[in-house]
């Protein structure tokens, strides 16, 4: 089943760090009000506004994704920017589901209720939009995977984690096909491996160490087992029925007297 930060461009007001005087010729600080740094309104230091991107709309983000500063106005801008971001991803997800990769960026902007310039500033291409949707969906899944990995009973955690992954997969079959058409499937597999299958693989090994899973399987085969069940995500009536087959797979994994498997 990843977040970029905005970059500043030419035309933004320059800012000095808190408390540093502005420099003039010959390296001497300009003085107002008997040696204080440059000031406005009777000696008060000028306020540093949160820098914005070239469009003057969204605040520039720091490395963790939040805009510089923390005044009420800046927090309001941050909230507005996040709402725009969420609306764009929701609209893009719906538009891709209905029209595939043929949908125009302008149509996505219209559905999201933002200007085309805002959309292109955040996501210069459909590939960037697809990657952002992928990241958002994996972020929704990650807390469930983390909870499964932290379960005291490794077997119960493994089943819960596999179930969460299969449920997400059942909701995202069309989206995965879009990723393949856009040439982004390899990126999807890398992200899924690192963020989902690595913690589930560790859980699989822990269940084996506890004697809860047969020993003749490798944790690296977990993605194959999930794929086996995942093929049942869409039945003849387009109804996800993976739960039935996950139950069947679970019995095969933990049977007390398993049949010997052929070697890999």
The CATH number covering residue 96 comes to: 1.10.10.60
- Phi-psi group of 34: left, alpha or beta (phi > 0 → left; psi -120 to 50 → alpha; rest → beta): left
Lowest-confidence pick of 42-56, 92-106, 171-185, 207-221 = 42-56
pLDDT at 232: 78
**CA gap 123, 197 in Å, rounded:** 28
Q: Which domain CATH number covers 249?
A: 1.10.357.10
**Residues recorded for the chain:** 264
Lowest-confidence pick of 12-26, 130-144, 203-217, 234-248 = 12-26
Quick one: 117 and 195 in the same domain? no
Domain range for residue 115?
Answer: 69-124
Quick one: 162 and 88 in the same domain? no
| Among candidate residues 124, 153, 170, the one where a domain is terminated | 124
Quick one: 159 and 240 in the same domain? yes
Quick one: 116 and 153 in the same domain? no
pLDDT at 74: 67
Is pLDDT above 90 for 119?
Answer: yes
Residue 24 domain-assigned (yes or no): no
Lowest-confidence pick of 125-129, 202-206, 260-264 = 260-264
**CA gap 184, 189 in Å, rounded:** 9
Lowest-confidence pick of 87-96, 151-160, 233-242 = 233-242
Quick one: 147 and 243 in the same domain? yes
Residue 20 domain-assigned (yes or no): no
Quick one: 201 and 152 in the same domain? yes
Q: Which residue has the higher pLDDT, 221 or 60?
A: 221
Quick one: 101 and 141 in the same domain? no
**CA gap 62, 68 in Å, rounded:** 6
Quick one: 119 and 214 in the same domain? no
Evaluated on CA atoms 140, 143, 144, 145, the torsion sign reads: positive
pLDDT at 172: 85
Is pLDDT above 70 for 177?
Answer: yes
Quick one: 118 and 146 in the same domain? no
Residue 172 domain-assigned (yes or no): yes
Quick one: 107 and 169 in the same domain? no
What is the count of structural domains for the chain? 2
| Among candidate residues 124, 142, 162, the one where a domain is terminated | 124
Is pLDDT above 90 for 160?
Answer: yes
pTM over 0.85: no
The mean per-residue pLDDT over the stretch 166-174 comes to 87
pLDDT at 161: 97
Quick one: 101 and 179 in the same domain? no
pLDDT at 234: 61
Quick one: 149 and 184 in the same domain? yes
Q: Give the long-range contacts of residues 243-248, CB within 8 A, separation 24 or more.
A: 243/163, 243/166, 246/159, 246/162, 246/163, 246/166
Residues 36-94 have pLDDT tens digits of: 444 344 444 443 343 444 333 444 443 344 444 567 666 766 888 889 999 999 999 99
């Amino acid at each position: 089943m990843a977040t970029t930060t905005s970059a500043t461009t030419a035309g933004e007001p320059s800012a000095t760090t808190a408390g540093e005087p502005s420099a003039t010729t010959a390296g001497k600080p300009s003085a107002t009000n008997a040696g204080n740094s440059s000031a406005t309104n009777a000696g008060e230091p000028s306020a540093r506004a949160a820098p914005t991107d070239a469009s003057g709309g969204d605040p520039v983000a720091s490395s963790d994704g939040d805009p510089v500063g923390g005044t009420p106005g800046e927090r309001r801008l941050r909230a507005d920017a996040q709402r725009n971001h969420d609306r764009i991803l929701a609209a893009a997800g719906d538009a891709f589901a209905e029209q595939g990769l043929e949908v125009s960026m302008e149509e996505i902007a219209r559905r999201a209720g933002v200007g085309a310039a805002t959309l292109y500033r955040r996501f210069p291409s459909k590939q960037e939009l697809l990657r952002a949707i992928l990241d958002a969906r994996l972020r929704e899944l990650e807390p469930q995977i983390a909870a499964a990995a932290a379960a005291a009973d490794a077997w119960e955690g493994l089943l819960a984690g596999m179930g969460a992954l299969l449920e997400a997969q059942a909701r995202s079959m069309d989206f995965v096909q879009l990723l393949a058409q856009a040439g982004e499937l390899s990126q999807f597999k890398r992200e899924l491996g690192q963020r989902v299958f690595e913690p589930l693989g560790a859980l699989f090994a822990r269940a084996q160490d506890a004697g809860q899973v047969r020993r003749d399987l490798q944790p690296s085969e977990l993605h194959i087992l999930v794929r086996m069940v995942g093929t049942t995500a869409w039945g003849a009536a387009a109804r996800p029925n993976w739960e039935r087959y996950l139950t069947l797979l679970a019995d095969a994994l933990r049977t007390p007297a398993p049949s010997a498997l052929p070697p890999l």
